[in-house]
Amino acid sequence: MSQPLRLGIAGLGTVGMGVLHILRQHGDMLKQRTGRDIVISAVSARSRNKDRGVSLAGYGWEDDPVALAQRDDVDIFVELMGGSEGPAKEATEAALRAGKQVVTANKALLAIHGQALAELAESKGSAIRYEAAVAGGIPVIKTLVEGLAGNEITRVMGVMNGSCNYILTRMEDAGKSYQDIFAEAEGLGYLEADPQLDVGGIDAAHKLAILSALSFGTRVDFDGIQLEGIEQITIEDIRAAADMGFKIKLLGVAQKTGRGLEQRMQPCLVPETSPLGQLDGGTNMVVLEGHAVGQIVLRGPGAGEGPTASAVMADICDLARGWTGPVFNQPADTLETPTPALSQRPAPYYLRMALVDKPGAMAKIAAVLGEAGVSINRMRQYEHSDVSAPVLIVTHKTNRSDLDRALAAMDGTGVMAGPVVALRIEEV
């Protein structure tokens, strides 16, 4: 029988307690599957005496996660504290320097410091595993790196922030404003302490940066992401999109083109009948496309105690089986530094605008679009009672540069009653 695998768990919040519960309640099952006992040597958390409903008496305790990471009786340092800096980073580095393996749920840490950590880990022959960092309970990293190992990855897409998807879905269902539903979500505890991480798209972009590196053999490049949050999405846009057969999603897309690595995290329209369009509430979805497999769609819970702990346990079980590999799918020193590229692929766009209510206004807009080479696929003008007329346009596929030229020219027509909302329609 193999030696037990000994864990040091730093962070006993929701996820840490979820891991603890699985280890306590399903130890025999885990042993049968991995061939080893998996035991907790010691833990660390902000408060030792908080009532967690479970006694920690059987485990060693460290106030300092760095000390935990260096303990002789710890084989795997399980980092569940979060944050890209501070204790999480220091303790992870300490663990790697001490030759320990690391399992973490920390997307920010990997998205910001992934390359340096990977180099450190690989110089020590250690592994870092982080299934829980992307899309919660969905084993997307495993699917991408291992399940699609025979594929050149051609595109990765995903709705990976459940809070944003909840807000957008709930706005439509309740017919309420972004501000109202944001307040509701915050009241329900659905948002991060800094809600900008959610609604600004930062959390989802951290995840996208990790998937890009794994997919395209590039160094993780969070700063190269074209990032836009959902704060500007109005109930009017959601209704208008629905009227045209679309849903608005905070969608991440990564793709390697001849010009470089395109990484976008922005609100997009997707067909309401597509799998992404049908994704309601806090659920996550990741779409993986490979040259051999075609398209694989994964759907599941993106957060929560059980799902996140499930992903952490998958990593721990893999390491218990002795399965280790490079941190980012190939050795860190072979990863290329990507050239960030804006999308040059033409796409259809959704445009919502208000025109002053006088004869010839619509004609002027149509003319400006035509001159810029932007062709109209569908157009609707809605009945209105005030002085401006709401107009929706779905364009044929167009280059963003042509569209930007048209948007600039619209400003000079004198018929615009406000700014234009322009959202990309993603082909899914």
Contact residues for a copy of itself, defined by CB under 8 A: 18, 22, 26, 29-30, 32-35, 131, 137-139, 142-143, 145-152, 217, 273, 275, 278, 290-301, 304, 306-307, 309-314, 316-318, 321-323, 325-326, 329-331, 334
- We find the least distance from the C-beta atom of residue 242 to a copy of itself, in angstroms, to be 15
Shortest distance in whole angstroms from residue 107 CB to a copy of itself: 18
Least distance (Å) between residue 224 CB and a copy of itself: 22
Which lies closer to a copy of itself via its Cβ, residue 310 or residue 398?
310
What's the token pair of residue 355? 């025109």
Q: State the minimum distance, in angstroms, from the CB of residue 20 to a copy of itself.
A: 12
Q: How far is the CB of 4 from a copy of itself (least distance, A)?
A: 17
Q: Minimum distance from CB of 95 to a copy of itself (Å)?
A: 21
d(CA 218, CA 341): 13
What minimum distance in Å lies between the beta carbon of 377 and a copy of itself?
24
Whole-angstrom Cα distance, residue 266 to residue 58? Answer: 47
207, 247, 249, 256: the active-site residue:
207
CB nearer a copy of itself, residue 70 or residue 215: 215
Cα 212 to Cα 205: distance, rounded to the nearest angstrom = 10
207 is catalytic: yes
Nearer to a copy of itself, 148 or 202 (CB): 148
CB nearer to a copy of itself: pick between 84 and 151: 151
If the CB atoms of residues 293 and 356 are measured against a copy of itself, the closer one turns out to be: 293
Helix/strand/coil (H, E, C) string of the chain? CCCCEEEEEECCCHHHHHHHHHHHHCHHHHHHHHCCCEEEEEEECCCCCCCCCCCCCCCEECCCHHHHHHCCCCCEEEECCCCCCCHHHHHHHHHHHCCCEEEECCHHHHHHHHHHHHHHHHHCCCCEECHHHCCCCCCHHHHHHHHCCCCCEEEEEEECCHHHHHHHHHHHHHCCCHHHHHHHHHHCCCCCCCCHHHHCCHHHHHHHHHHHHHHHCECCCHHHCEECCCCCCCHHHHHHHHHCCEEEEEEEEEEEECCEEEEEEEEEEEECCCCCCCCCCCEEEEEEEECCCEEEEEEEECCCHHHHHHHHHHHHHHHHCCCCCCCCCCCHHHCECCCECCCCCCECEEEEEEEECCCCHHHHHHHHHHHCCCCEEEEEECCCCCCEEEEEEEECCECHHHHHHHHHHHHCCCCECCCCEEEEECCC
**Which residue lies nearer to a copy of itself by CB, 52 or 142?**
142
Catalytic residues: 207
